[in-house]
Structures are given as structure tokens and as C-alpha cells.
Structure 1
Amino acid sequence: MLGSNHIRVRCEDGVTRMGRIKGKIKKRLWIREGDLLIVVPWDFQDEKCDIIYRYIRPQVEWLQKNNYLSK
């Protein structure tokens, strides 16, 4: 967490980006270290992204069990 609504995110493509938590998610969800997130990189700045969704632990386990995610 970097403060306010910003967070540093390590993406699957190996790039570390600064993520912005959108208002809808900011009010409803707590994002912790180690969470699985869906992010959308910005078109004009590749080092920044928007956080769209956070998976909770049972959802991540289900995705791994059904081979949607690799470990």
C-alpha cells in the first residue's frame, strides 16, 4: 500500500505497476498483500493500472483446483 487509493502491484508479465483502486472497490473491499487481483494497464502509461476485481481465498483455490490458474 502506498497510501490513499494507490497500491504497488506485481503483474503476471513481470512488470511492477502502480495500481489505482477504483472508487467502487475502495468503498467495499479490503485489499491485502498476497491477494489475487484483476488489473487493467493504462493505454498511455504502461507502469500504471486500474484494479478491477479482487479474488478471495476460496475463489483462488477453486480456480487453481479447476486448472484456471497455475501455481
Structure 2
Amino acid sequence: MPKNKGKGGKNRKRGKNEADDEKRELVFKEDGQEYAQVLRMLGNGRCETMCIDGSKRLCHIRGKMHKKVWIAAGDIILVGLRDYQDDKADVIFKYMPDEARLLKAYGELPENIRLNEGIGGLDEEDEGAADDYIEFEDEDIDKI
């Protein structure tokens, strides 16, 4: 039987998430950067975002964040704008929900942005699902 030459299994490769609970410094945008909200994930390290300046952009998740920082629809992110492509950008930083609320409180994000709700009308579909069911009275059941 061959001797194991590795240093451990897949749990070792995953590492530990010890840095999640400590507070980090709030990062504000600089020139050439913009706040954005993720509309949908496209796969292959890309996502479609609505930037605060009002334009939709195709964003690329940079290699340092790829498969380490998970981004979902509705998240607030910081994107780096490209000076040669206006419709594309690069994801620089993902804000945690409490950091996004702080940004909104500081006035960096507009008031009409929805922070902790999913994008795409998922909440409206859940309310409309109750209309699909038909309620029967006791009298109706006796007739059947």
C-alpha cells in the first residue's frame, strides 16, 4: 500500500473561517470606483450589477475573491470601473449586511435601495402563491 504523501484532505484545503467574526474597517469608494448591487449571478466568475450611477454593468469577480468570497443576488459590492469599457467592471470588495446598512446611514448609498431583500421579485411571487389554492367549504366537500 502506498504511503500518503499529502498533508491532509479537503478540510485542510478549505481552511478555517476565523476572520469572519472580527470587525473590519469600512471601505469607502475612491475615484474610479462605484457602489453596486448584484442583480443576478451569471456563472464563470461574472455577475450582472446595477451601479449607483444608474447603469447596468457586467462585473468580473477578481481572482483573489473567486471561490473565497461568496457573492449572491442582492449583495452590495464595490466595483472598479474600466476606463476603456464603460459597460464592464471588476468586483473589488463585498460588503457584509451590517456594513451596507452603515453605508446607507452615512449617505453613501441612496435611500431607495433595498438592502436585505432578494432581487427579482421573489417576495411578490411568494405572496401570489397563496392565490393558487382553492378553499372549499364543508358543503362543497359533501357535494363532491
Q: TM-score, normalised by structure 1?
A: 0.86
Which is strand-richer, 1 or 2?
1
Moved over 6 A (4+): none
1:8 corresponds to: 48
- Aligned to 2:92, the other structure's residue is in SS state strand
1:34 corresponds to: 74
CA–CA distance in structure 2, aligned partners of residues 13 and 64 of structure 1: 15
Say if 2:118 is the partner of 1:70.
no
Say if 2:84 is the partner of 1:17.
no
Structure 1 gaps of 5+ residues are none
Query: What is the aligned-residue RMSD (CA, Å)?
Result: 1.4
Q: Which structure has the higher relative contact order (CA within 8 Å, separation 6+)?
A: 1
Size of the alignment, in residue pairs? 71
CA–CA distance in structure 1, aligned partners of residues 49 and 83 of structure 2: 17
Structure 2 gaps of 5+ residues are 1-40, 112-144
Overall identity of the aligned pairs, in %:
35
Residue 49 of structure 1 and its aligned partner are, at CA, apart by 0.3
